[in-house]
Chain A
Amino acid sequence: MTSVDDTLERILDLAAGHFRVPRETLSGDDDFFRKLGIDSLRALELLTRLEDHFAIELPDYEMHGVTDFRTLATRIHARLP
């Protein structure tokens, strides 16, 4: 059983890799639209990467109204087996 913080770390790793930004520049409370310079459709790409990694399914709406990594981590963590 992993913690929300572990999930958050994994998300930051994947986001850094996918959007090619140095991992150390990202933190949980960042607004990822601003920090990664992405729009809502590209944010959905991140969701696809997270699905592959965690082997779970994430509906588009898990991104709805979320702008920071920590909230996203909480939502994803709740879906982990």
Chain B
Amino acid sequence: MNVDRYPSLGAALMDGLDRWADHTCLVESDRERERERITFAEFRERALPFAAFLDGAGFGPRDRAAILMTNQSKWLLAAYAIFHRAGVLVPLDAKLAAAEQLRLLAHAKPRVLVVEFHLWRALAAESAFAALAVPLVIVTEAPSAPPAGPGGVRVRRWEDARAGAASIELAPAQRDDVACIVYSSGTGGRAKGCVLTHDNYLQQLHALLSLHPFAPGVRYLSILPTNHAIDFMVGFVGPFVCGATVVHLRTMRPEFVKDALVRYRITHLAVVPLVLRNLETSLRERFAALPPLRRAALRLAIALHGLFGRGRPNPRLARRLLRPVHEAFGGALEAMFVGGAATVPRTLSFFHGLGIPVANGYGLTEAGTAITLDRLDPPRPDTVGTPLPGTEVRIDAPDDGGVGEILARGRTIMRGYLDDPELTRETIVDGWLRTGDLGCLEPSGHLRILGRRKNMIVTEGGKNVYPEDVEGAFGDLPGVKEHCVFAAHYLWKERQGSDERLLLVVRPDPAEYASILTDYVAFRDAIEARNRRLFDFQRVQGFLIWDDEFPRTASMKLRRDDLAAQVGARFGERVAVASPDGATIEVERGVISLS
């Protein structure tokens, strides 16, 4: 598929609708029930009247339109119509707090907002709603009359947003025109709107398709939020241009996700590391529960797959050797993409061993989508793969070990941050994007990520410690759901400015919490045993049991700053923990020192 000839996303998408007219474009499912499936031709029939409506409402080239919705057909219909009119799409994160969404809307200043009813209702309940200044709001799934907007805001139901004209011409856009403004999940406070051009996206698409050619017959399950760069490319632009099918589910409940993999024989899927880890845990538990003979047979099948697959995950071979495992994934899975945060190598190896090709990648909203991707040839689970075609990566000011800040250059890099020339100058220097991540490049070209520049810890001995390295050693702590490593000064900024001692924060599995507390000596020993595997300067000097779910972004990336702030503020509080027998134990949140 050659996308070089398209001047814009609108042109590429429109061509897809024409070319694949009779193929299935979308499957809209709600749990086990399929609501509808529509062809590319039917998609076009729905999208163009909406584009005509936007035109009639005065929306034209370079005007901005925000979408605030969960994954569903109207997200894609609205996005298509915006591109058809050469507008600029502002995809917003549906999982952000309503006040934050209003703040981003004030920053992006769109002319149009397309929003799901329940999210609109949540916006309307905020005090800052009165200051909303979007001229036209279109509410989907509104039962009757949606809440009115503040003065000057016109509110329409999706069903009423149709013009007399059933069709309208494609408004031309050029490669260098802005296609999207995407807010990156950076540190709080400053709105970072990444300005991305049509060229950025089409170049990214070109690179991705050279590695994973999509075609009719590809069925992609869209569970990452579509506002997120990965799903936008793999769950919208890519499939439309190539005639692949996108499946929407309307729920994230794991039981329905598993069902959908089987029912639709999903071929491609993108997940975040947390979901992958949950899948790994449940598979490992199921394997452990097998009778000894069946377990031995499983080990043999895994070994045979490794031997005959020559160390590369080979789904066709593995489906024969490991049929029940592959049937649980639908039996048709060709590729699974994981990104958005660091994945533990052990988890990746586990899936590769089973013949499930999980491709680990690394990217930033600022870089379009992906910078690197593991080609699995052979897999390198300790890395994030090699740069995509057309993208250059280099390490800035490497230390003796070759570690420095990762810089990226290429046609997918954003133009800059919206209305923030200062931050843009700091972030894109001489054409190179400063990622803020630390890593090193191997002679083979594989990139290893070693942590965030900001989050790096320098010990009193002058040694650099990357929290991710230390966290890796505690990945298999029994009964622990999530964990994170901080320098003490990061948690208690005002108290000790230079305390570089490392602390491990663990959140137990709720079902295990009470037993960890009652047998905490064993738990401490388990931490100490893992601690001893680390270099002396990497060892944690205390641990803290935290009972709240760690704060994460919509793409499940850990918000380290927020977690540090929560721990710092609520340290020492007394909390109640339910024990299995129904009694309540009261404990104090505190640091437990090791030896």
Contacts and interface: CB of A to CB of B under 8 A. Distances in A.
Interface of A: 20-22, 25, 33-42, 44-45, 47-48, 57, 59-62, 64-65
A37 B508 CA distance: 10
Q: Which 9 A-B pairs have the closest CB atoms?
A: A37-B510, A22-B582, A44-B253, A39-B549, A61-B118, A60-B251, A37-B578, A38-B510, A60-B252
A34 B510 CA distance: 9
A57 B577 CA distance: 32
Contacts of A44: 251-253
A21 B577 CA distance: 12
A40 to B, nearest CB: 7
Contact of A40 (B119, B549, B578): B549
A41 to B, nearest CB: 7
Given A41-B254, A44-B252, A48-B253, A64 B95 contact: yes
Given A38-B510, A41-B252, 15 more contacts: A20-B580, A25-B578, A34-B547, A37-B510, A39-B510, A39-B549, A40-B549, A44-B251, A57-B30, A59-B118, A60-B251, A60-B252, A61-B119, A62-B118, A64-B118
A33 B481 CA distance: 15
B70 interface: yes
A42 B481 CA distance: 13
Nearest to A22: B582
Contact of A25 (B70, B119, B547, B584): B584
25 contacts: A21-B578, A22-B582, A25-B578, A25-B582, A25-B584, A33-B548, A34-B575, A37-B510, A37-B513, A37-B547, A37-B578, A39-B510, A39-B549, A42-B510, A44-B251, A45-B253, A47-B253, A48-B253, A48-B255, A60-B253, A61-B70, A61-B118, A64-B122, A65-B97, A65-B122
B592 interface: no
Contacts of B547: 34, 37
A39 B481 contact: yes
Given A61-B70, A65-B122, A37 B253 contact: no
Given A25-B584, A64-B95, A36 B252 contact: no
Instruction: Select the residue from B481, B510, B511, B577 with max chain A CB neighbours within 10 A.
Output: B510
A19 to B, nearest CB: 9
Interface in B574-595: 575-578, 580, 582, 584
Q: In the complex, which range does the number of interface residues on chain B fall in?
A: 20 to 34
Contacts of B109: none
Interface in B187-245: none
Contacts of B530: none
B251 A37 contact: no
B251 A59 contact: yes
Contacts of B251: 44, 59-60
Contacts of B580: 20
A24 B481 CA distance: 28
B222 to A, nearest CB: 15
Nearest to B250: A59
B552 to A, nearest CB: 10
A21 B549 contact: no
B367 to A, nearest CB: 29
A34 B207 CA distance: 46
A32 to B, nearest CB: 11
A38 B578 CA distance: 11
A37 B515 CA distance: 13
Interface in B543-567: 547-549
B510 A36 contact: yes
A34 B253 contact: no
Nearest to A24: B582
Interface string B414-435: 0000000000000000000000
A61 B72 CA distance: 13
Contacts of B118: 59, 61-62, 64
A38 B547 CA distance: 10
Interface in B503-537: 510-511, 513
Contacts of B119: 61
A72 to B, nearest CB: 14
Instruction: Select the residue from A37, A40, A64 with max chain B CB neighbours within 10 A.
Output: A37
A38 B548 CA distance: 9
B549 A35 contact: no
A16 to B, nearest CB: 10
Contacts of A22: 582
B549 A33 contact: yes
Contacts of A40: 549
A43 B56 CA distance: 44
A47 to B, nearest CB: 8
A37 B549 contact: no
Contacts of A48: 253, 255
Nearest to B255: A48
A18 to B, nearest CB: 13
Contacts of A59: 118, 250-251
A33 B97 CA distance: 18
A38 B116 CA distance: 28
A79 to B, nearest CB: 11
A62 B584 CA distance: 29
A36 B254 contact: no
A21 B579 CA distance: 9
Contacts of B97: 65
A13 to B, nearest CB: 15
A28 to B, nearest CB: 17
Contacts of B254: 41
A35 B584 CA distance: 10
A37 B511 contact: yes
A37 B577 contact: yes
Nearest to A38: B510
